Amino acid sequence: MIIVREEKLVEKKEHPLIVSVSPHVRGEETVSRIMWSVNLALLPVFIMSVYYFGPRAVYVTGLCVLACVLSEYAFQKWLRRKVTISDGSAFLTGLLLGMNLPPGVPFYIPLVGSVVAIIITKQLFGGLGYTIFNPALIGRAFVLISFPKL
């Protein structure tokens, strides 16, 4: 068996059963496609939240989505990392956080929750796929602890 590593051909004879790390199954789904599919799947839930809670639900959710996307963009630019806002994960975090907050919340609370969710929970742990907990729920928990009369 010959393995190409760092543009050198290396013969591998000592351990023929050792393979690379998972995942081994490959498919057509990309991270971006999955994230946008989940965002699309949440559209009926968002429409019903607007039906039940009125236009204030659009305001809170839109503010969360905007704050999440902008904070991810700004933080990645600041650290000179590749900007990944097109993958839909920041949008999804904002959508989940916005639908998790009450409709009558003051405008600064979704901003605080979004920044905590993206910068502290997601980006400081290494980005998408490296978080210990769901960023939207950590943002919600932080807001709940910081503003208990919410």
Structure confidence by residue, pLDDT tens digits, 41-74: 999 999 999 999 999 999 999 999 999 999 999 9
Binned at pLDDT 50, 70 and 90, residue 110 comes out as: very high
Owner of token pair 């969710």 = 117
The answer on pLDDT for 101 being more than 90 is: yes
The answer on pLDDT for 143 being more than 90 is: yes
Mean pLDDT for 19-26 is 70
CA dist., res. 95 & res. 60, Å (int): 9
At 37 the pLDDT is: 94
At 48 the pLDDT is: 96
Q: Which residue would you say has higher pLDDT here, 25 or 97?
A: 97
Report which DSSP code applies to 132: S
Binned at pLDDT 50, 70 and 90, residue 31 comes out as: confident
Whole-structure pTM value:
0.79
Give CA 19 to chain center in angstroms.
30
Return phi, psi of residue 11, to 5°: -85, 135
105 close to 56: Cβ distance less than 8 angstroms: no
